[in-house]
Amino acid sequence: MDAEILSQLIQIKWLLVVFVGIALVNAIARTSLEFSRTRSLRTLGQPSFKRSAQSLLENAQWKDLLVLADARCREAPGDAYGFWYRAYAAHALGDVAGALSSMQRVGELAPDWRESYVDPFIRALGTPG
C-alpha cells in the first residue's frame, strides 16, 4: 500500500475517534443536565405530583387534592399542572372564584392548553373566557 494513502487513512481514523469522542461527551453532558433538571436528589424517592394528584382526582378526594395542589403551586409557581389540579379541586368544593383564578393562571402558564382545556372549563363555570 502506498505510504500516502496509509497516512491519509490514519488521519481519517483519528478524526473519527475525535468525532465519536466529542459526540459521547455531548451525549453524557446532555443526559446529565436533563436528569438534574427533572429529578433532584430531594424528590428521587417521592411519588410524583401528577401521579398523586391524578389518584386523588379519580377518587374524588377534593380536600386532599386541594392541599396537595396548593403546596405544589407554592413550590413550583410555574407548573401549570399544580394550578390545573387546584382549579378542579376548588370547583368541586364550590370555590368558583378560586377555580376561575387557578384556571386563568393555567392559561397564562400553558397557552396551548387554552383552547382545549382552559376556555371550556371557564365557560362551564358560567363566566366569559
Structural domain includes residue 21: yes
Structural domain includes residue 129: no
80 and 91 belong to one structural domain: yes
Domain count, the chain: 2
- pLDDT score recorded for residue 45: 47
111 and 59 belong to one structural domain: yes
Query: What are the average pLDDT values for consecutive 10-residue runs of the chain, which has 129 residues?
Result: 87 93 92 72 62 91 94 91 94 92 93 90 77
- pLDDT score recorded for residue 36: 73
Structural domain includes residue 41: yes
- pLDDT score recorded for residue 125: 84
Predicted TM-score of the model (pTM) = 0.62
- pLDDT score recorded for residue 31: 86
2 and 40 belong to one structural domain: yes
Range of the domain at 70: 47-124
Q: What is the 3-state secondary structure (H, E, C) of the chain?
A: CCHHHHHHHHHHHHHHHHHHHHHHHHHHHHHHHHHHHHCCHHHCCCCCHHHHHHHHHHCCCHHHHHHHHHHHHHHCCCCHHHHHHHHHHHHHCCCHHHHHHHHHHHHHHCHHHHHHHHHHHHHHCCCCC
